[in-house]
Structure 1
């Protein structure tokens, strides 16, 4: 007996009802379902009696690639109904698709991603003909809100058109009046929707990945038909695959045994396990790629039918809005229902659909102009800035259901290991404060950091060191065993059986993904140190060292150097002090910063703070690690001396290079006393502020103390602040206005107390008495004062040029 094929849309209540009724009528001996064939020996585990939604989580890692994916089920998933109803009827139920780790599914995070997204020409034409916004609204219009009479034929027509019907042929559908199949056939015949060329009209060209999957499923179907003999076989797959499987079923094949399940590479780590899922992860509005948005609405549609679903969901939306403080009266609710019913009649729906309800609610409850299109008029995530009431409507239709696995469900070893370690360290829900100076505190911290890196939710660090350079010896954490922890632990179990093994594998995966992104590599390295794994993740350190050697972004390189230097210096907190691996990274980073710095030429724009920070990190490395790591101070100072006098170098970098030498105590050359001379050389209004920014960032302390040291030198070698005062005093109003923004930015490197000391020195130099603090706290923005002064000067010059002199002056 030939197989019966049902093409479905994943998570569609209409398709689920069709599957249930077909199984009841056909009473098949074998039910074949699109799903991972490597899980067939665990079907009993899948059907233990879980609270849905749940998912099969699959993972794969080898030397070339790493991937993970989900095969989710909810109560109204056609595949789930096929498994449960088939088993209840006594049928043999099996999955027939390739394993999730197979290369044919390497681009899929979700096995049940909608084919309509990938092959959308026909869908776009149907949406245009039916005057709907997108495939979700089209689907509801054609299938979810109508009755089930002729549903199988309508679905077959739809999916045949989606796949591409050969030119000159039509699906075997009876075109009765009022049947939407007539509209489908009229709206999207191959010659209009499939393309303009004969090749296009003959059907959609499938990807090699889909072709491989369909060939494998076809072999599984033929083997099942041969096994069943004269007993019925029912095949449930995504509708896009149905036409290909129907065609393959008519092709004679010698094979009667099912194909073997592909085996992963010998060095691969792979597996599948069940995880709790949630409606939030099913909703396309938050990024789920398999369609059917608003899972709470479709759950009610599945359980109660379209009439009661519309009423119940609208009440739920209003209740949620009231909980969020939105004023919604009974009259508003009545108005929303009336608007939804009116829209349903206008659009030809027997009862209000999902979008009819949402549009009715917006009409009745939102009076303001909307800055963004309504989310249900397109596919994908909600646009930031969407009206709050609209966001709450979408959230209400999403629902908050979270699945729960049966207690007898096997779990990866990591789940049990983590639970045991949390109990051993006394880490229970609530606020936790850890003293990082003690062994127990560090061990507890490392466990929590391992869970943080693994992405376990509700384990949040609220305070603590962030780089290794802070004098912070305490961490604060907030722990809560929320509903998503088990799911995350099961998924993290793909990386290893213990937190150490799992984090090590994950960090190596992140390192490979980062490639030459030194910022990302530095973050990986700090996470490794925080987890107490700095010495055991040599692959990470080697990758960071290679990234440093080829880095071209001076700012990013500086951030890496600062992070690694902090890790190398501090042993009590992170246990990585004097690490040979980190020491090698410090040496490589210093060499690369010096090499890149000398190659930079002047360009437009303000001071580049990230590259100045890289120079500062290099200076710090020489201060703290010169002897221990064998860094060449003389060579570094020589590079910075050359940069400081190179007119082709950017002014901010020249200032930083000068400050670099000064702050390292280049006493033999008396460089501190030369600061005033260098300031005069950089006195052009457009560059002075940038030069000072570099200088102050590197040598702030030296600038503040230079006045006392300059007392014994001649006036031409006065301290930089005295020279700066002279330069600014000599500026015209226009030049001062031009220089002021950068000057203000430069002095931001001094904290308030030090700025007050500078102001006191300024008053003393001018022989003035007054409050330095008051000088810093003007009632009006100094920039506004400068602009007003410059404007007055321009007006005075213009008046003088035109002979408009005040009467008193004429006398």
Structure 2
């Protein structure tokens, strides 16, 4: 237990983002009129409290970014109108109290594993909470909190909160990080007590910390000076800025670590009380459902309110609580079976498959409020640099640039837009342009994408650096380290650095891919890296990396590694895998377009392909691809004979997927024997076998673009005695899913069998 608070100091333990706790804080400040109001928050912001308390439209947050040679950290300290910490600051200022944040800075190692300062400590005392939930027959800590504090009277609230947090803290131990924070906060409390001259001191912190702070302040020595605020290492980059926040980002159903979900609902509780909040919630859900053309009648609303009121009385609530209203709405509005548990019965993000009406209920509780900073709020340099760079390159918020990358001015605009894309700054989306694995594309088309949280995201990106170039450079350097040996991620980053015009970091990324190539075991990832490297080696005139030795060395190593991995794949019945087929396509293209220049050995490649094509333990798609690789590189390949060996319905389509992926041009060029054999195989299948083979066959023919598919159709028509482009195009215009057609034919065949067995076919006995 916490013991008695030291004379002159009042400790309020709160749950972050709780209207009940915010009301208690306001009432306590008004009653005490303290000399000091001390709040759990970053002490390095004490010199900027005037900035924090400007007339912002809440919610807002303090965003902190930190970066040194070994660590990158970002965190948020959010405030909304009913945050007890915010009320402590505003109410304290109103009565003339001196205000202080008393916690360690957000960049401090004590917060290294926390993205949110005000994430409640529920997991630390989960066992005690679970016992309380079981005793009081509630689902989780949110329903427990409403039951005990949020819906009940304010009389005796401070005592009930103290007893609750003393009980929970008494059954759990703080970790090393919390111990360091509490020791630091206690020093601030003792210093304020010794300076208050007998006037009251009010301390507002998370309830988890209250018992420890009472003990540390009572047992600790006097403090002659305010504690020193820790400073980051000289080689580190750290900074904090205010950012607009939103109810969506505050909501636990969207993944936020706060103690309270449904911020829109609790805002109404704060402003109007629980009874009106319950009525407003029902109205909001009905409005959202009606806006989506879902029928909600007046009778439905009456039933929902009646059910919510009955549940509240049954559960001992003076007013309907959040879960009472939600359970009443589900009872009245959802008649279907639910595939997922109701989300308010647990915590965390909404599960896939949640009923649409339930999704709308959660959205109505969340609210759509977005904060706005006061115009006098200082902003990080990156915000101004982004605006200046966009102005300099004549890109407005509503523009849809169409860029010719051979024109220097357009190339510079493209690089700026790609740098902003890498920094996750909204504003424009690239709809078309250079892509991995395609031939050289020298034009781009962008479209505007307005976003209400754009300013917040630019401020957050400012944690990487003061200018666009500095920030994107730091981001890429960090990402290279974080990706480690992930060659797929590194390949994507390599292509992005080329588009963004960052040659130095393209070289660093290329070196990281080269280091990882010798140990990678993921053929799909390696294939993507090879495709990126080959594309840059062939086409990158913009960065000047076309034909360079480092890219050539990577291509050579990647081809060797890919061929080694292909021979090790064993799964005789595995379905076709587009990723590994794309890897072999990259190997083929490397031999075609870079082989002579880089000294790649076609004989070694053909030998590997021959072994894989004949290996019955290899997956069908790889066997087909290996044959296609030999064929596409000019080696003899009896595709017509090989297809007869894999004529089983369960493997034919997968084998063809591999063949078509590597040699579709050769198929279209007139391999009449292959298409003829294939046509006879398919014609000879009964309905059941064809239905088994059809899904994989569709995937296989999906490798052909429309023009080549039409060429195949013309050849099939010629085999059947038909001719003409019109007839071939008609074969491609099937309005019904072929799988459905095949299933219908199979069903008809089974019906015919039953009719024949029972003597009911046409012409049979009446």
What TM-score, normalized by structure 2, do the two folds share? 0.88
Residue 216 of structure 2 corresponds to 248
Q: CA deviation at 1:574?
A: 7.1
Rate the CA distance shift 1:213–1:638 in 2: closer, same or farther, 3 A. Answer: same
1:386 aligns with 2:392: no
The answer to whether residue 53 in structure 2 is matched with residue 89 in structure 1 is: no
After TM superposition, give the deviation of residue 700 of structure 1 in Å. Answer: 2.2
Superposition deviation, residue 243 in structure 1: 0.6
Q: In the TM superposition, what is the alpha-carbon distance from 1:145 to its structure 2 partner?
A: 1.9
Alignment of 1:702-717 (within 5 A): 702-705=666-669, 707=671
**Alpha-carbon distance change, 544 to 331 in structure 1, aligned in 2, over 3 angstroms:** same
Is 1:325 the counterpart of 2:302? The answer is no
The answer for the alignment partner of 2:35 in structure 1 is: 29
Map of 2:324 onto structure 1: 356
Find the partner of 2:240 among 268, 272, 284.
272
Residue in 2 that maps onto 1:59: 65
Counting only pairs closer than 5 Å after superposition, residues 206-245 of structure 1 correspond to structure 2 as: 206-245=174-213
- Is residue 402–residue 443 contact of structure 2 (8 Å, CA) maintained in 1? yes
Instruction: Give unpaired runs (5+ residues) of structure 1.
Output: 165-202, 709-718, 805-811
Matched, 1:282 2:278: no
> 1:693 matched to which residue of 2?
657
Aligned equivalent of 2:17: 11
- Partner-residue secondary structure (3-state), 1:614: helix
In our comparison, the structure showing a higher alpha carbon Rg is 1
Deviation at 1:564, TM superposition (A): 2.5
Q: Which runs of structure 2 are paired with 1:39-188 in the superposition (5 Å)?
A: 39-164=45-170
* Rounded Cα–Cα distance in structure 2 between residues aligned with 1:160 and 1:386: 37
Report the Cα offset of residue 335 of structure 1.
4.0
Q: Which among 494, 501, 524 is matched to residue 555 of structure 1?
A: 524
- Distance in 1, matches of 2:693 and 2:483, equals 41
750-759 or 357-366: which moved more?
750-759
Q: Aligned partners of 1:361, 1:246: CA distance in 2, in Å?
A: 44
Structure 2 matches for 1:366-445, cutoff 5 A? Answer: 366-437=334-405, 438-445=407-414
Distance 1:648 1:361 in 2: 57
CA distance in 2 between counterparts of 1:367 and 1:721 reads: 53
Cross-structure match for 2:307? 339
* SS of corresponding position for 1:119: helix
1:150-173 deviations in whole A, cap 9, x for unaligned? 111011001011112xxxxxxxxx
Counterpart of 1:617 in structure 2 is 586
Q: CA RMSD in A?
A: 3.5
Shifted more, 343-352 versus 557-566: the winner is 343-352
Alignment partner, residue 483 of structure 1 = 452
Deviations for 1:338-392, whole angstroms, at most 9, x for unmatched residues?
Answer: 3333333332222222223333333444444444333222222223333333322
How has the CA–CA distance of structure 1 residues 258 and 612 changed in structure 2, closer, same or farther, with 3 Å as cutoff? same
For the residue of structure 2 that corresponds to 1:599, the secondary structure is: coil
Residues 794 and 606 (structure 1), Cα distance of their counterparts in 2 relative to 1, 3 Å cut: farther
**Structure 1 residue 681: Cα displacement:** 5.9
Aligned to 1:713: none
Instruction: State the alpha-carbon separation in 1 of the partners of residues 133 and 413 from structure 2.
Output: 57
Taking a change above 3 Å as real, the CA distance of residues 425 and 773 of structure 1, as seen in their structure-2 partners, is closer
Cα shift at 1:45:
1.6
2:173 corresponds, among 193, 200, 205, to: 205
Output the CA distance in 2 between the equivalents of 1:474 and 1:451.
Answer: 18
CA contact (8 A) 1:468 1:567 kept: no
Give the total of aligned pairs: 748
> What is the SS of the residue equivalent to 2:400?
strand
- How many Å separate the matches in 2 of 1:773 and 1:556? 37
CA distance in 1, matches of 2:509, 2:444: 25
In structure 2, stretches of 5+ residues that fail to align are 1-6, 760-766
Q: Does 1:510 align with 2:464?
A: no
Shift of 1:792: 12
Cα 1:644/1:98, change in 2 over 3 Å: same
Of 522-531 and 602-611, the range deviating more from structure 2: 602-611
Range 375-384 or range 93-102, more displaced: 375-384
1:662-677 counterparts in 2 under 5 A? Answer: 662-666=631-635, 671-672=636-637, 674-676=638-640
Point out the more displaced range, 69-78 or 340-349: 340-349
Q: Tell me, yes or no, if the aligned pair for 1:737 and 1:790 is still in contact at 8 Å.
A: no
TM, length-normalised to structure 1: 0.84
Aligned to 2:627: 658
Question: 4-13 vs 358-367, which deviates more?
Answer: 358-367
- Are the aligned partners of 1:473 and 1:573 in contact in 2 as well (CA < 8 Å)? no
**Offset, 1:618:** 0.8
Give the Cα–Cα distance (whole angstroms) in 2 for the partners of residues 303 and 730 of structure 1.
Answer: 75
Q: 1:690 to 1:151 in 2, by over 3 A?
A: closer
Q: CA offset at residue 254 of structure 1?
A: 6.2
Conserved? CA contact 1:283–1:291, under 8 Å = no
Which range moves more in the overlay, 601-610 or 417-426?
601-610
Counterpart position of 2:469 = 500
**TM superposition shift of 1:490:** 0.4
The 1:253/1:459 distance shift into structure 2, 3 A limit, reads same
For residues 758 and 319 of structure 1, what CA distance do their matches in structure 2 show?
A: 54
